[in-house]
Structure 1
Amino acid sequence: MNSPTTPTRPPTPRASTPVLVVGAGPAGLTTAITLARHGIEVIVVERRPALSGLPRAASISTRTMELLRSWGLEQEVRAGGVEVEWKQWVGPTLNAAGDTHLTSFPTREQSAVLSPTAPASVPQDHLEPVLLNHLRSFGTARVEMGTEVVGLEDRSDDVQVTLRDVETRETRIVHARYLAAADGARSTVRDALGIVMRGPGRLSQAIGTEFRAPLWELLGDRRYCIYAVTHPEAAGVFVPAGHGDRWVYGVEHELAQYSSPKPTKDQSARLIRLGSGLADLAPKIERIGTFTFAAQLADRWREGAAFLVGDAAHQITPRGGTGMNTAIQSAYDLGWKLAWVLLGWSGPQLLDTYEAERRPVAAHNVARSADPHGGARLAAHELPADLGGRIPHVWLRSRAHTVSTLDLLGPGLTLFTTDPSATWQRAARSVPGPPLVVHDLDTITARGMGIPRGGALLARPDGAPAGWWPSGTEPAAALRHAERAR
């Protein structure tokens, strides 16, 4: 017992939550949003006091935009970007003749066939606030900025995490049934779990200069996603980074011979003038930073009830624009699977499919980004990794190209049927597990999805087929088999 003169140390506050998400970047916010949309309580902690103000990743892929569309965020996200064609322009300077090449993102014409939406050129410092505001709209979510992880204990039935307020240094303990570590390339949680990253951590160094200058006026109709200039003194890339003629100019560190790690504003302005081909251009330099190209994959993405997601699980160079998209799509996958288990819609074995399904995609994108020519691959070769085998997009004939088959996917299972569908609907009402919603399709739409008359297609929330049956299948037996397989 303490003596009367000895101050009593207050006990460390404790709390519990179904899921604790560490990190409020795109991966962490996506994980939390997916959980919150299922009604799951979630706490998000982020060491930074505020979101990043850097444009960083600016290419949002087809599948990522489909997810944002499903949350009703497509227009709000696009509002912070620029309209471009997904092509690369290559020339000596921006003011010289050059060549145009296709990229691994589909063009507008290709997108119109593939998806109800299309890739978007939107800087990350616009996307993240949109995601954060959406997350905060749910009463089941709490976001705590300026909070860091300082202790971690993975126990048999939960994860005990010690959190510290960065400003006050006060600590508290949170017990989480599951932990999602989305705390970046230098993940504190990953290190605490003893998980090692494999692969080159320093492929090359680059300098990124964020600036504003009237380049769109120079480019005119050449509104593309990336411009590569080959000027011998200023070889690099110009990438649009949002509204107001905001740009990022990237150059390999080895090409810039400076005594300090990065150039001065005057030196950067000179390079931009050389690369643009406009001797009198006066760019407004807002920031100069260096970054390292890394292509690494974590040994494993799970330790007990703790999962790695985003850069904590995989580091991908900017080549090909897949890093943030891989993170968001994997975070969505983890989010809905955690939600299903917590809601009792599935057994815990579902969580084993997170790494099994998403790791091959990440490994593909990591290897591609390590290839100096990885950014030059065509959409036909890279779309399978992005779309992930989801069901086909077909516009519903009765909705005047406003509703896609992808828009019919819900938080549970979705069953697409054709006439006669009554027996499928009766069978669906008797299947236990997650909610199962039935949609009857007209013959043409069904044909577009590969469903024969009298057949059916069962889809997961991510659009991956969970069952595909021809005409003549006995519905009740088919759905019972799908339930057991799940």
Structure 2
Amino acid sequence: MREQHATERHVPVLIVGGSLSGLSAALFLAVQGVECLLVEQRPSTSVHPRARLVTARSMELFRSAGIEEAVRKAGDPGPIGFVVADTLADEHYVPTGDHHDETLDISPTGMRLCDQQQLEPLVLGRARELGAQVSFGTRFEGLVQDPDGVTATLGTADGSASWTVRCDYLLAADGIRSPVREALGISRHGPGLLGRSVSAIFDADLEPVLRGRRAMAVIVRKAGAFLFARGNSEARMWQLGFPLHEGIDLSPEGLRERTQELVRVAADAPELEVTVHSAMAWESEALVADSFRSGRVFLVGDSAHAMPPTGGFGGNTGVQDGHNLAWKIAAVRAGTADEALLDTYDAERRPVADFTVQETLARIGQSSAQSRATVQLGYCYPSLLAGVRGKDGADEAAVEEGSVTENPHEPTGRPGTRAPHVALDHEGRRLSTLDLFGGGFVLLTGARGQAWRSAVDGAECEVEVRTVVGPGEHTAAQELVYTDVDGTFLSSYRIGPHGAVLVRPDGFIGWRTSQECSGAGERLGEAVRSLVGR
């Protein structure tokens, strides 16, 4: 008999779905000090590798949460490029393009290869360490919203019991099929289904045909398949991806035999011993939800945007969704921001999702180093610029209206863009400007920005002041002072020594002024109010 329980508890935030996007949202909420409960119907984190590329931006966010080094240690520093061959035994492999890490000079982290089944436990562990609660084997069954919150019905994975949880906000990170999104009736737009494929994990000794050669992936023409290395360079674990044609036996035994057959063709080794550990069929789609918010429910990750695996941007976009939303929920709960701030989640993240889906579709044919860097670090929030236009319009006239990206190698420092990485020194410790963000709002000033440093006393929420000076330059600032190691701070942020830049907790520029002006306190206060929805 099915057991039913009364409402057991209240949590500020309930997260439905415990894959990478949901776990990351829990982590970033915990970093912000927001209590949350994550429920996942599976018994554990992912056991299939799924995504592998951790983009530079995701690495920057994991750095801010304290797990960058753990991800590096668990991951693989190996090559990130694709090559093409008739078989793995070919004398020469043909590279598909230039696949160096184009973010190393504009990010303190760069990108990393780390299988999702290795990454998720790291995110989970840190989230729990910071106070997030995670319940596996728990499924979502339904929800009811009212003006004050959400009542969600949850149940055991086997359906033997159910109960309700009351929350202020619910984050739906429950995947492409998203029962939460379907319950809300949110439609999607885009090309839809692109194809069906099989992903299989197997063990085999391929070194005799590889002969020490390495690549992130090999497109094997004779097998009609993709071969991905898994784990570190010494591992024998591999992933094979191949299209799901009509007539293929989808039973576990059928997929196992088909995988073994294709691996032997790929290796040009008919007698090769191949042990298949898992094989799963999946669908590639390109769809974006028509809204990322419905009342007190927010779509995060694949529930908001489904995209093909080309480029590895799907999971990374989901990671960044949660980061964008976490500080906003924290600010509203703390009373330092109005509820209207939460509307900016849809306004900011949905255009990014639309752009990223289009970029992944374009990359099916080819891509450039510039386009890869732009997708990782160059996306913008035009709506943020629109919100501050007129409050400091002197240096915004040249901005392209509605632009969703900029070249991250040529940062503009304009509102709505990621605050550029600049190497800093503080009392002999080397760090990045990005290391200054993540708590509250941060006001960056030049050596002679005293008027702006004094103006923070009139701000309606806490604003931390950080002064950046050039090599050998002196300042009267009493706050924390950092040395601009390469002398690029002012040019990267496009301000003068009397100017200032206000950076949001998520590391995006909210406002800037290139010079000193009268009424600094009023100007800064107006900017802060705009950025918190007031």
TM over 0.5: yes
Contact 2:4/2:163 (8 A) holds in 1: no
Deviates more, 1:423-432 or 1:340-349: 423-432
Name the counterpart of 2:466: 439
| One-letter code aligned to 2:118 | H
- 1:398 is displaced (CA, Å) by 5.3
Aligned mate of 2:94, from 81, 94, 99:
99
Corresponding residue SS for 2:154: strand
Residue deviations 1:111-130 (CA, integer Å, cap 9, x gap): 32111111111111111111
Contact 1:92/1:230 (8 A) holds in 2: yes
1:22–1:261 distance in 2 versus 1, CA, 3 Å: same
1:177–1:222 distance in 2 versus 1, CA, 3 Å: same
Corresponding residue SS for 2:431: coil
1:288–1:336 distance in 2 versus 1, CA, 3 Å: same
- 1:217 is displaced (CA, Å) by 6.7
| One-letter code aligned to 2:374 | P
- 1:261 is displaced (CA, Å) by 6.2
1:137–1:11 distance in 2 versus 1, CA, 3 Å: closer
- 1:42 is displaced (CA, Å) by 0.9
User: Does 2:203 align with 1:212?
Assistant: yes
1:479–1:221 distance in 2 versus 1, CA, 3 Å: farther
1:29-108 to structure 2, matched below 5 A, reads 29-96=23-90, 97-102=92-97, 107-108=100-101
Contact 1:361/1:385 (8 A) holds in 2: no
1:39–1:269 distance in 2 versus 1, CA, 3 Å: same
Residue deviations 1:114-160 (CA, integer Å, cap 9, x gap): 11111111111111111111111123x22111112222111111111
User: Does 2:526 align with 1:481?
Assistant: yes
Name the counterpart of 1:4: none
- 1:332 is displaced (CA, Å) by 1.2
1:219–1:432 distance in 2 versus 1, CA, 3 Å: farther
Take 1:441 and 1:347, find their aligned partners in 2: how far apart are those partners? Answer: 31
| One-letter code aligned to 1:293 | S
- 1:57 is displaced (CA, Å) by 0.7
Contact 1:51/1:128 (8 A) holds in 2: yes
1:399–1:69 distance in 2 versus 1, CA, 3 Å: farther
1:147–1:70 distance in 2 versus 1, CA, 3 Å: same
1:187-336 to structure 2, matched below 5 A, reads 187-215=178-206, 218-219=209-210, 222-231=213-222, 234-243=223-232, 244-254=235-245, 258-260=248-250, 263-336=254-327
- 1:330 is displaced (CA, Å) by 0.9
- 1:31 is displaced (CA, Å) by 1.4
- 1:401 is displaced (CA, Å) by 8.1
- 1:285 is displaced (CA, Å) by 1.6
Residue deviations 1:13-48 (CA, integer Å, cap 9, x gap): 342111111111111111111111111111111111
Name the counterpart of 1:3: none
Name the counterpart of 2:509: 465
Contact 1:86/1:102 (8 A) holds in 2: no
More RCO (CA 8 Å, sep 6+) = 1
Aligned mate of 1:384, from 339, 361, 374:
374
Contact 1:162/1:171 (8 A) holds in 2: yes
Name the counterpart of 1:5: none
Name the counterpart of 1:420: 448
Contact 2:81/2:95 (8 A) holds in 1: yes
1:332-347 to structure 2, matched below 5 A, reads 332-347=323-338
Q: Which runs of 5+ in 1 are unaligned?
A: 1-8
CA RMSD of aligned residues (A): 2.3
Contact 2:77/2:113 (8 A) holds in 1: yes
Take 1:379 and 1:422, find their aligned partners in 2: how far apart are those partners? Answer: 40
Contact 2:291/2:350 (8 A) holds in 1: no
Take 1:274 and 1:436, find their aligned partners in 2: how far apart are those partners? Answer: 61
1:402–1:240 distance in 2 versus 1, CA, 3 Å: farther
Corresponding residue SS for 2:517: coil
Q: Which runs of 5+ in 2 are unaligned?
A: 380-416, 471-486
Deviates more, 1:66-75 or 1:414-423: 414-423
Contact 2:28/2:65 (8 A) holds in 1: no
- 1:77 is displaced (CA, Å) by 1.4
Take 2:36 and 2:10, find their aligned partners in 1: how far apart are those partners? Answer: 10
Take 1:261 and 1:359, find their aligned partners in 2: how far apart are those partners? Answer: 38
1:424–1:324 distance in 2 versus 1, CA, 3 Å: same
Corresponding residue SS for 1:321: helix
Corresponding residue SS for 2:298: strand
User: Does 2:357 align with 1:366?
Assistant: yes
- 1:375 is displaced (CA, Å) by 6.0
Q: Identity across aligned pairs (percent)?
A: 33
1:313–1:216 distance in 2 versus 1, CA, 3 Å: farther
| One-letter code aligned to 2:46 | S
Take 1:17 and 1:398, find their aligned partners in 2: how far apart are those partners? Answer: 39
Corresponding residue SS for 2:103: helix
1:160–1:10 distance in 2 versus 1, CA, 3 Å: closer
Name the counterpart of 1:453: 497
1:57–1:401 distance in 2 versus 1, CA, 3 Å: farther
Corresponding residue SS for 2:217: strand
Residue deviations 1:359-384 (CA, integer Å, cap 9, x gap): 1111122233345x536222312433
1:154–1:59 distance in 2 versus 1, CA, 3 Å: same
| One-letter code aligned to 1:412 | G
1:101–1:164 distance in 2 versus 1, CA, 3 Å: same
| One-letter code aligned to 1:467 | W
- Count of residues in Structure 1 that have an aligned counterpart in Structure 2: 469
Take 2:37 and 2:118, find their aligned partners in 1: how far apart are those partners? Answer: 22
**TM-score normalised according to structure 1 size:** 0.90
1:221–1:344 distance in 2 versus 1, CA, 3 Å: farther
Deviates more, 1:390-399 or 1:287-296: 390-399
Name the counterpart of 1:6: none
